[in-house]
Amino acid sequence: MAVLDILKNVPELDNLLDIGCAEGTKTIQYAKMLSILLENVYGIETKPEYVKLAQEHFKIINANLEHETFPFQDQEIEIIICNQLLEHLKNIYFPLSEMDRVLKIGGYLIIGIPNLAALLNRIFIFFGRQPSCNVIMGPHVRCFTHKGFLKFIKQNTNFELQSISAATLYPFPYPVVQYCAKYFPGLSSYTFYLLKKIKHNPDNCGWSMRADLDTCF
């Protein structure tokens, strides 16, 4: 629901890249909301069972996100969605730099991440339990906090932050979650960032490897 709500503030576009698109159900919903033809929709997915299902609807790219260059020209894509993927990658810097490279000036990037510092996770950790995002989504190789990730994405001056949204703030209902996200985004279990590309300088994007951003922001 969070990504669909974000897309209400995005104009109609000509193409879309969904990174980590799974079986493609949500990707099709995104395209429909933006009035994008499925022939102009691309997904990146590595799990064979998902690739088989998604490729029945749109173009699928099977690529190693941590090492392989995306098969697009510079500034070819108008919107990129990367939802709950980065926490599963050891190397997030290469795919993020590729997103920067292939996205057009004026295009949009949506990133969704689980928030280790969420209210529910704070409660779990206090009682000695594992954070909920790892329980629900499987093992993560990276942990993020809203405060740390926000600082990280702002290092890339090619982008301008448009909005911050939230998906879950236990035990409150979704409308309350969205209201609280405006003032307390660091408490939500999942945080979403809408970025707009304002200039193209892929050689100096700001999302490069840093020693102090190793496994946890």
Q: Where are the domains of the chain?
A: 2-115+141-204
With contact defined as beta carbons under 8 Å apart, do 168 and 190 qualify? yes
- CATH superfamily, domain at 2-115+141-204: Vaccinia Virus protein VP39 (3.40.50.150)
pTM recorded for the entire structure: 0.87
pLDDT in tens, the chain (217 residues): 689 989 999 999 999 999 999 999 999 999 999 999 999 999 999 889 999 999 999 999 988 898 899 999 999 999 999 998 998 888 899 999 999 999 999 999 999 988 877 777 767 776 666 665 554 445 677 888 888 899 999 989 999 999 988 776 555 666 665 666 667 767 777 889 999 999 998 777 777 655 344 444 5
